[in-house]
Structures are given as structure tokens and as C-alpha cells.
Amino acid sequence: MNFGRLSMSQLDSLACKISNLSQLRQFHAQLIQNSLHHHSQWASLLISQCTRLRAPPPYTRLIFDSTPRPDIHVFISMLKYYSNLGSAHFNQVVTLYQKLQCCDLRIGTFVYPVLIKSAGSKGIEFHAHVLKLGLASDPYIRNAIMGLYAKYGPVENARDVFAEMHERTLADWNNMIFGYWNWGNKAEACRLFDMMPERNVVTWTAMVTGYARMKDLENARRYFDEIPEKNVVSWNAMLSAYAQNRFPEEALKLFDDMMNSRDQPNETTWAIVISACSSCGDCSLADSFVQKLNQKRIHLSYFAKTALLDMYAKRGSLQAARQVFDELGVSRNTVTWNAMISAYTRVGDLASARELFDKMLERDVVTWNSMISGYAQNGQSALAIDLFKDMITAADDPKPDEVTMVSVISACGHLGALDIGNWVISIVRKNHIKLSISGYNSLIFLYSKCGSMDDAKRTFQEMTTRDVVSYNTLIAGFAAHGHGMEAVKLLSKMKGEFVEPDRVTYIVILTACSHAGMLEEGWKVFESIKAPDADHYACVIDLLGRVGKLDEAKKIIDDMPKEPHAGVYGSLLNASRIHKRIDLGEFAASTLFELEPHNSGNYILLSNIYASAGRWDDVVRVRELMRKVGVKKATGWSWVEYKGKLHKFIVGDRSHERSDDVYRLLAELGRKMRNSGYMADKTCVLRDVEEEEKEEMVGTHSEKLAVCFALLVTDAEAVIRVVKNLRVCWDCHTAMKMISNLEGRKIILRDNNRFHCFSDGICSCGDYW
């Protein structure tokens, strides 16, 4: 094809048909062949295609740099390109602007809105510049500045700019409404909507999105239905409202309506629909969509392909996800990489996730958040915190946002690391990160896990709006500390404030009752649950079991309408251990050995039941069974947070600098414990057991090492925090009570799912025997 003979508009329509990057490269090569690439008009055409196709920055930059005398349009398209990439490219935007100033071009005011938008959150820095140039009254520039404040806050500044306007365009009103929704101010958004002189699709769509974010789907739908002239975006907004709030069926129903309307789906629609399929678990439906698209030869954009990747990842087909990722090749963008990283973290493949993370050149906040939360959700809280430290020390990398903080604060909570948690909170303040409900929820979690219930309560009270998670988290805190009455009070409080309890609420309430021995209240709550599931049964078995009503518990299991799961038998086994019911313990354990043969905890519990009855032959038998099945008790580690550092202990590992002192104190405590009657010298009975195992069976656990360390370093402190990665087992539990009694101090210990506060030989967890 001879490019020289084609007219501008012909070439323009040719360019629009380019559907992937290799086609773009071919097109580019042909321009070079025809020596057309020096012309600004071609450069700006190419760069706008780069924006559309998400070409990588080096390639786009190459086009720009090989244009000898770029005109204003080239600059504009380059700025728009960066604007599309997000705020991570602020430095390039600044360089571009400086170059533009040197080029002796006539800069029209229309450059500034693009400039401001392309700078993302840092566009604020242009605000002063624009004021200095005396351009602040330009309606387009004002609109851009207001949009900036609406998006990145403070929303009050947006309001001020809006208030100063003499004439307001429809776009100004829309921007302001978006701003109010963005900062959770529903009342103001509605007020503006009602008083504005005219409205368009954008206005209505902003209302739909706003309500959808507040999870108020009824109002979202009401506004959607009222839209006089819908377009693709408004359909997409409503579709995404359903999809994001876990109503995928509704989304698909609406999608049918859309297919029957005059608006046809675009790339974003496909992305939303595919992700709706994946969240309702109907992957075959998604497959049929993909098939239909292939038949119709509709090329999925990188945008929809990312959704497809995500769908495969959620379905657990990691290979399929990876295939999409590899197919995308150069048109992968940060979003694609991020989706692949979270695909790996979702299945717990942290190494592969980290490999991608390290390979990435342009990481945005989401990249960091995906990796940090990946660690946090896979029980690697310490690694999550380490990575967060890397994030804030790395110069070029993005600033943490609220999502980062939620993950990190929660990780601190899981570790019981209050000092580090407080340091994280100081970063929240320093960076002026506004906490939403989730942010406050993570604070409640942190304080509860660290034993600061007063701070947890205070945080809860400071919140203006609370969701069901806020209540659940605080109730869980009360449950862990044995404050049953406060938990039950919160249940009625939330009902009074029209927050609907969910299944987790009932789990934590029942746990609270059971830890506090509140049989009657707990039973009443259980009976009020409309459709109790197996988890709720597990809790109620625990409740009955702990107060000794084991036969009643067994009867409930027999009469369960649903199939009992391992948790139900686990509760029974634990109760049998507490009340030394060998018969029921054996029954529960034998079922559990079938249900989850590789869970070492069940074997240990049964072995402990036998040990407490002095049936040492049976103890040895269980140990042999474990060996036969090939189950090993996982090596546990415990840590203490001291002066902002985590001190980690593993049995047999003496790498800690105070190890000698720790072991000396441990031996001394062991002597005292033996003298006071604990550990009636089981060692001599267990002749056939190997030395290492023997030690473990009589309770040399990592948490004891950690407690000894804490006793050494914190002489006057009343509270010692020890955290452990495993369930605290029977021997250790008793030992902790002894230590707290001997030392006359309160010891707080966390295992991976419970909180133990030992004081005067009593533990708050409900094991009162």
C-alpha cells in the first residue's frame, strides 16, 4: 500500500482499525518507509493509538522522541497518554511541560486541563502555577482543578472552587456531585442533584455509582431507571453496581435487558459481565460468552482479557490465567500484572507472585497492595510488614493509600504487634490518609488483638458510621477476652442501629458466650438464627461442651439437619479434652481422622486426653498412628514484640542473642513447676518415645521460650504479649497458667485463632478447669 497516495482522513480511518500492538508497529513501519513519520500529524495519530492500545511507555516515548519538531497536538496526545497510565508518571509530565515551554509554541489554555489531569494526584502542584499565570478563571482549567480536588481531596477545596464560580457548566455540577460521593457525602450530593438547573446522562450515572458505592442498590436502580437517555456507560455503571455488591445474577439479568436495548456492549461491558460470571461461580456461562465472542470474531480488548484472567484465577485454573497473561504479551499493563500477582497470592503461591512483583518495572499502589495483602492473607504478616517498609523507603514508588494501611494494620493485629501498629498509625497521620469504615475496622482489630480493649472501644465509638464488620470485629475482641455480656449487648445495639447481623456476627457472639460460660444467652442466640449453618453448630457444640453438657452436644450433632463438618467434631473433641470424656473424645477423633487425616491437631488433642487420664499406652499408640499416617506436628514459632522489633523463637533454635538466658530461665521455671505439682514426671513413663518428641509432649513449646524472653526484658510491665503461629495446646496452656501464677503477672498470648489472657493462673479463653 502506498501511504503517500492516501488522504489524511483515509489514513485516519485506517489507524482506527488497528486492533493490537503488532498491527500498530506495522503501521508505524510503513509510515517510516514512506518517510511520513517526521510529521507531527502522524506522530500524534500514532500516540493516540498507543493510548487506546495501552502501548508500553518506551515505545510511545520513541515515537515522540523521533518527531523532530513536535507541534502542540503531539504534546497533547503525549500528555493524554500519560494521563491514561495513571499518576505514576508525574516526572515525565513535568519534563514534557518544561520541554513544551522551551519549544516556543503558542500554548493555548487548553493545554492546562490536560496537563493537570495527566499529573494525577500531583496535579495540585499545577494549581499554584495556573493561578500565577492568571488563568484560574478559565472555565476548563477550573473544571480540571475542581475535578482534581474532588478526586484526591480535600473535597472542601473543590467546594470552594465550585462556590467561587460565576457561571457553572453542567460539567462543573457533575464534577462536584462526583466529589461529594467520592468522599462519602451523600446528603450534599443529593442536594446538588436536586437543585441543579439541568442534568445529563453523566449526572444520573454519577448518582447510580454513588449509591452503588454505599451499597444502596435500590436507590442506584431507581436513579438508573429514571435516566431519560441511557448510554453504554450508564448500563455499565449499573451492571458494575450489581457485580461489585455480589448480585451477579441481577447483573446478568440486566445484561439481557441491555442486549435488547439500542445500546450495545463495549469492552468495559464485557469486562464487567465476565467478572460477574466469575463471582457467581458460573464459569460455564463465562465460557459460553467467550465462545460467542469468538464466533462473532469480536476481539476482546486487554481490558476484558484482564477480567478473563481474573475469572480463571478465581476459578482456580491458574494455568488458564497464566495463558491469558502470556498471550497479552506487550499489551500487558500494570493492571494485568497486578491481576496475575493476585491470582498467585489467591492460591497461596507467594513465590511466583513475588517473582512477578520483582520483575515489574512500573509498580503502582495496587501492585504493592496486592503483594502486601498477599502476604497478609497467607499468614505471612511479618513479610507483609517488611514489604511495607520497603514501600515507604523506596523513593520512586507510590505513596501508600488506605488499602495499604488496612492490610498492614491488620497484619500488625495478627502479630499482636502494637508498637509497630502505632508506628503504622503515625504514618497514616503523616500522609493524611483518610480512613474509611474499613480503615477504622482494621484499627479495632489491631487494638483487640493487642489486648487494648479500651482503645478498640474508643475507636468504635469515634466512628460516625459503622458496618457489620465493625460490630463483628469488636464483638470478636470481647469474645477473645471473655467479656460475654458486652458482646451480647453489642448485638442488641447493632439491631437498634439497623445493622443487620450476618453469619459471622452469630459466630463471634456464640464464641463470646461460650468463652464466658453463658449457656442460656448463647442458646437463645442460637435459636434466633434463621438458617444456622455448620459453623454455627460448631459454636453451639463448643458452648454446650465447655460447660460440660457433652451428651446434649452429641445429641445435637446426631440430629443436625445438615452434614456436620470437621469443625463440629473438633468442638466435641476439645470439649471431651476439657471434661476428660474419653468415650466421646475417641468418637470425635475417629471421625476427624477420616475427615481430615493430615490435621496434626486432632491427634495431639486425643493424645492429650489419654495423657490426662494417665493412659500412656494409648498416648504412645496415637503417636505411632501419627507416624504411620505421616503427620507431623508443624514446628511452631512464637514471637514477642519488644521495642518495635519482633523476637522470634523456635524450639531447638538458639540463634537469638538472649537464648542462653532464655533457656536458663526456662529450666528454672520448669523446676518450680515440677515442685508445685505440675508435670507429674510423665517423662519416665514414656520410655519408648524419642527424646525430642518426649520434650515436645511434656510441653517445651516455642511460646514458653517467648514468654521467658518477655519475662527477662520487661521487668515491671504488667502485660507481656506473646504470639504463636499454632493452636495453643493443652500442655502449654497449663504451663502458661503456671507461669502467670508463679510470676504474679498477666500474660497475653495469641495463637492463630484465639486470644489467651493468663492472670493468676486463670485463662480468659474459656478453658476454666
Partner DNA sequence: ATAGGGTTAG
Residues 294-313 that bind DNA (CB under 7 A): 302-303, 306-307, 310
CB of 445 to DNA, least distance (A): 4
Cα 195 from Cα 175, distance rounded (Å): 15
State the Cα torsion 496-498-499-504 to the nearest 10°: 70
Q: Binders of DNA among 734-763, rule CB under 7 A? A: 753-754
**Which stretch of DSSP H or E encloses residue 647?**
strand 645-650
Q: Using the rule CB under 7 A, which residue among 172, 250, 364, 767 binds DNA?
A: 364
How many residues would you count in the chain?
A: 769
The secondary structure of residue 120, as a DSSP letter, is G
Q: Using the rule CB under 7 A, which residue among 321, 385, 539, 729 binds DNA?
A: 539
Q: Using the rule CB under 7 A, which residue among 334, 702, 725, 734 binds DNA?
A: 334
What grid cell was written down for 515? Answer: 468463652
Pairing status of strand 719-724 against strand 746-750:
parallel
DSSP-assigned states of every residue in 568-615: HHHHHHHHHHHTT-HHHHHHHHHHHHHH-TT-HHHHHHHHHHHHHTT-
Name which of 278 and 700 has its Cβ closer to DNA: 278
What grid cell was written down for 274? Answer: 465476565
What is the separation of C-alpha 98 from the centre of its chain, rounded to a whole number of angstroms?
40
60 binds DNA (CB under 7 A): no
Amino acid making up residue 574 = N
- Using the contact rule CB under 7 A, the part of the chain among 103-111, 134-142, 158-166, 402-410 near DNA is 402-410
508 binds DNA (CB under 7 A): yes
479 binds DNA (CB under 7 A): yes
- Using the contact rule CB under 7 A, the part of the chain among 68-76, 534-542, 576-584, 610-618 near DNA is 534-542
Alpha helix ranges (H) inside 596-679: 600-612, 616-629, 659-675
- Residue 134: φ, ψ to 5°: 70, 30
535 binds DNA (CB under 7 A): yes
407 binds DNA (CB under 7 A): yes
206 binds DNA (CB under 7 A): yes
CB of 360 to DNA, least distance (A): 11
Name which of 139 and 439 has its Cβ closer to DNA: 439
Q: Using the rule CB under 7 A, which residue among 157, 240, 638, 764 binds DNA?
A: 240
Neighbouring CB atoms inside 10 A of 6's CB total 15
Cα 486 from Cα 493, distance rounded (Å): 10
CB of 148 to DNA, least distance (A): 11
352 binds DNA (CB under 7 A): no
CB of 594 to DNA, least distance (A): 19
Residue 612: is it exposed, middle or buried by C-beta count within 10 angstroms (0-12/13-18/19+)? middle
CB of 657 to DNA, least distance (A): 32
Q: Using the rule CB under 7 A, which residue among 192, 383, 469, 626 binds DNA?
A: 469
Cα 76 from Cα 358, distance rounded (Å): 33
The mark string for 92-131 relative to DNA (x by CB under 7 A, - otherwise) is ----------------------------------------
Work out the angle at residue 569's Cα, subtended by the Cα atoms of residues 614 and 725, and round it to the nearest 5 degrees: 75
53 binds DNA (CB under 7 A): no
714 binds DNA (CB under 7 A): no
- Using the contact rule CB under 7 A, the part of the chain among 62-70, 174-182, 281-289, 630-638 near DNA is 174-182
Name which of 48 and 306 has its Cβ closer to DNA: 306
- Using the contact rule CB under 7 A, the part of the chain among 216-224, 321-329, 438-446, 543-551 near DNA is 438-446
Q: Using the rule CB under 7 A, which residue among 49, 511, 725, 740 binds DNA?
A: 511
Cα 283 from Cα 374, distance rounded (Å): 24
767 binds DNA (CB under 7 A): no
What is the separation of C-alpha 756 from the centre of its chain, rounded to a whole number of angstroms?
26
- Using the contact rule CB under 7 A, the part of the chain among 153-161, 332-340, 385-393, 651-659 near DNA is 332-340
176 binds DNA (CB under 7 A): no
CB of 203 to DNA, least distance (A): 9
Task: Give the burial string for 388-399 (b: 16+ CB within 10 Å, else e).
Answer: beebbeeeebbe
